[in-house]
Structure 1
């Protein structure tokens, strides 16, 4: 039955997107069907077909090994603070934010060497050939799979002023539906913390295997959400104009690094900026949640409400509980067993209202307890559903970043931003629905 529920969720999400859009007769149902088909094909290739699934597993192990090499830099700078076996345990700022800096530097090197541009071009070619989208849309979407929502538009900056509203919506939904490679590395550290430095070889190998498994799922999520973003974008804003002529292949990166070392240094600096931004957002939002939960807990102690909470097995009233109640029906349509829907729904709510970092922290806390609420299948589905930048804070980040690149289109960015964020969230949720059918 849970596998069948996933099909219900796909239908519900498409219906919601259709209702939020203008409902014009010009909807490109061929692209929508093609996007869904490409999502299913990607899931089959990356999770079910033995040859490609094994290749993904080897790639994930390779990435896990690369992430593990960051321990050398962490130990050099922070000393024993980087060892999770110490009395201080797991320190977020040391273990996670340092990984983001290292991975951002590595991505800078890969861009300079031409590896990432070739990967992006290949993925863009697949999107363009299978979905019939424009080169600008395909290139930006492919970039979003690997870099952040403010970096991806740089590859099509000269085209932003002349792109149609439907193309802009596709660009923005893609930014909200996917995550950057450097952030992916941070999420992996949440879900699969590194083994202690003094752990035996078997323990370290087991930890590496768990980390590789989560990397495989997060990579699959980001790839699958690209065609899903096209589906949601076209439902929300159908293409009614004629896209302008474009010459994406001729676009060159702005201010390229002078050499390999410059690329690594620039990447590290960008990673530091991102890590500090993540730290600031977490400090602010965790504190704000605690502030909001304070009166909610007091309200939950009022006798009538306390009795109602007790009847539902809830200890105290909080934002997380409210999110869970509101989004539990949606979680059920996605294929989650009803007993787990409240917690699953709370993760979806945390991701949108707060940030995906908070939601992944909550998921990781549940996964790493002795008696988790979510089953292994539901936990994997949650990882897919949370894999994207769709939250209220990202609306401001994306509007600011895009407006700096194309000031004349700021009004369009502002008008499209909220629906684009919702579309990005629903793209990630649709990915979770499809994966849930296959798990």
Structure 2
């Protein structure tokens, strides 16, 4: 029954996107169908086949090995404190090492070339323009703002529909620099499964809501992704960016968790419920539509609502406490849903990034900011639902 409900949920998401579409005549149904089929294949292969499970486990083991190198650096700096399980030290400090590693792979052109050609393959298979496909794949590695900055020279050429797709697909993603942090909070296999599926979730729904044609296509210049002039500059910049990211995430967590505590105190006095309980009931129908067991939809909904209202880290902090008591299917669906930047705070960050590049485009984006967040959240729902089909 849960599988049937999830299938109906996927149909409902696509139906809602169709109703929201501003150009139904030019919707590329072929592209949407191909991308949905790729998502289903990826989820089935990684979660339901012996080979896929071995591949996924090998990737998880590889990531864990890389993280173990980061732990060496953390242990050297923090000594015995690194064995105490402090969130700031053991989780956030890992962002510095991973960010530096990504910077090395970028300087050596390994990542830019991979992103360019994978994005080109996505464009060729689906019929979508290269810029949109490039940003979607780029977002899987570098996150929303960096992905947008990598195509800043093309931004002024983008129509409102193309801008919508670029921004929305970048929100239905996360940065690999913080994957290590996620993998220490939720099951690593679901973090890695969600990454490629997210690429297509954002593109499917945003390209239905705001269709584009491939006639407006451009070639991608990867040199814009490589600002450093030497390897040591790349390592230094990567570490500094990682350090800033860790501090920003820490500052946001302090702020949001403190605000939630204050809000919960007020709500408890007024209505006898916490914010998480209220959003749990609001998101419960969505959780049910995703195939989560009915006995757990309110708990799952509370995590999902917290993620949209605050951010994924705040939601994961709550979710970590629930995981041992939840069904495996619920854990997989919610974990996959959480692996994206689709939340209110990210809209402000994206607007600021676009404003710094092109004020006119930022003005266009500001008018559809809530619509972008809605479609990006629907993309996260689509990812979680597809993962749930194979659990």
TM bucket (normalised to shorter chain) is: over 0.9
Q: Distance in 1 between matches of 2:43 and 2:338?
A: 17
Aligned length: 391
Q: What is the CA distance between 1:419 and its match in structure 2?
A: 1.3
Residues 244-255 of structure 1 mapped to structure 2, 5 A cutoff:
244-248=216-220, 250-253=221-224
Distance 1:38 1:126 in 2: 13
Any idea what SS the aligned residue of 1:178 has? coil
Counterpart for residue 145 of structure 1: 140
Unaligned runs of 5+ in 1: 85-89, 192-213, 302-316
- Separation of aligned partners in 1, 2:301 and 2:281: 7
Q: SS where residue 24 of structure 2 aligns?
A: coil
Q: Which moved more, 1:46-55 or 1:390-399?
A: 46-55
Aligned equivalent of 1:332, options 262, 270, 288: 288
Q: Measure, in 2, the Cα distance between the counterparts of 1:242 and 1:104.
A: 34
Quick check: which has more Rg, 1 or 2?
A: 1
**Does 1:70 pair with 2:22?**
no
1:170 aligns with 2:170: no
1:286 aligns with 2:253: no
> Could you tell me how far apart the structure 2 residues matched to 1:251 and 1:377 are?
40
What is the aligned partner in structure 1 of residue 2 from structure 2?
2
1:308 equivalent in structure 2: none
Task: Select which of 331, 347, 368 maps to 1:395.
Answer: 347
CA displacement, residues 169-214 of structure 1 (integer Å, 9 cap, x when unaligned)? 11111111010001221111223xxxxxxxxxxxxxxxxxxxxxx3
Q: Does 1:436 align with 2:381?
A: no
Residues 250-282 of structure 1: per-residue CA shift (max 9 Å, x gap): 342266222222111110111111111111111
CA distance in 1, matches of 2:292, 2:222: 44
| Distance across 2 between alignment mates of 1:173 and 1:49 | 31
User: Which structure is higher in helix share?
Assistant: 2
Secondary structure of 2:162's counterpart equals helix
Matched, 1:318 2:274: yes
Normalization by structure 2: what TM-score? 0.95
For the 8 Å contact 2:337–2:380, the answer to whether it is kept is: yes
Alpha-carbon RMSD across the aligned residues, in angstroms, is: 1.7
Provide the rounded CA distance (Å) in 2 between the counterparts of 1:289 and 1:21.
Answer: 35
State whether structure 2 residue 246 is matched by structure 1 residue 275.
yes
Residues 383-419 of structure 1 show CA distances to partners (whole Å, capped at 9, x for unaligned) of: 1111100000000001111221223311122123221
Q: TM-score, normalised on structure 1?
A: 0.85
Contact persistence 1:156–1:251 (CA under 8 A) = no
User: Residues 37 and 340 of structure 1: is their aligned pair in 2 closer, same or farther, counting only changes over 3 Å?
Assistant: same
Q: For the residues of structure 2 that align with 1:288 and 1:20, how far apart are their CA atoms?
A: 34
Q: Which runs of 5+ in 2 are unaligned?
A: none
- Alpha-carbon distance in 2 for matches of 1:360, 1:254: 31
Closer, same or farther: CA 91–170 of 1 in aligned 2, 3 Å: same
Tell me, yes or no, if the aligned pair for 1:2 and 1:337 is still in contact at 8 Å. Answer: yes
Q: Secondary structure at the match of 1:133?
A: coil
Q: Say yes or no: does 1:215 pair with 2:167.
A: no
In 1, Cα distance between equivalents of 2:198 and 2:167 = 13
Alignment CA distance shift 1:46-1:384 (3 Å): same
Match of 1:180 among 175, 180, 189: 175
**Secondary structure in 1 aligned to 2:144?**
coil
Contact conserved, 2:106 with 2:226, CA < 8 A, in 1? no
What SS class does the counterpart of residue 390 from structure 1 fall into? coil
Contact kept? 1:143, 1:152, Cα under 8 Å: yes
CA shift, 1:154, in A, is 2.5
Aligned to 2:121: 126
Q: Give the Cα–Cα distance (whole angstroms) in 1 for the partners of residues 24 and 2 of structure 2.
A: 33
